[in-house]
Amino acid sequence: MEPEATINSFLQLLNNQPELFTGEAKQDLGQLEISVDRVEQLPEADHAEFLADAIIDFCDVNPSVEQALQEKLNQQQPEESSEIILEEKRLLLSKRIQSLMTES
């Protein structure tokens, strides 16, 4: 599985299926947010892999999100990536996670 596909699909879940991120999943978003912020300390070549691994770790403890992500990945078409696009998606991911964590 391509790291970019994992990141794109997870971002789509955050935006389009926020109901997946309630209860324990909402609490676990805090750890994911730490990982998303930490990526800035790594070489750019490692960003996509690190973010995808963090998302996979999050999904490992949140089976409903994992199932939805897998379904999304099965539907997704491959797309090109660049470091600029990846940075924009990292920022969107961070903002959306923060938004979901602060919702009541």
DSSP 20-76: GS-THHHHHHHHHHHHHHHGGGS-GGGHHHHHHHHHHHHHHT-HHHHHHHHHHHHHP
Write down the pLDDT at residue 81: 56
Q: Which of 22-26, 49-53, 81-85 shows the highest mean pLDDT? A: 49-53
- Percent share of the chain, pLDDT over 90: 57
- Residue 58's CB: how many other CB atoms inside 10 A? 21
Give pTM, 2 decimals.
0.81
pLDDT in tens, 65-87: 999 999 999 987 665 555 656 77
Q: How confident is the model at residue 88 (pLDDT cuts 50, 70, 90)?
A: confident
> At which residue do the structure tokens 């750890």 appear?
31
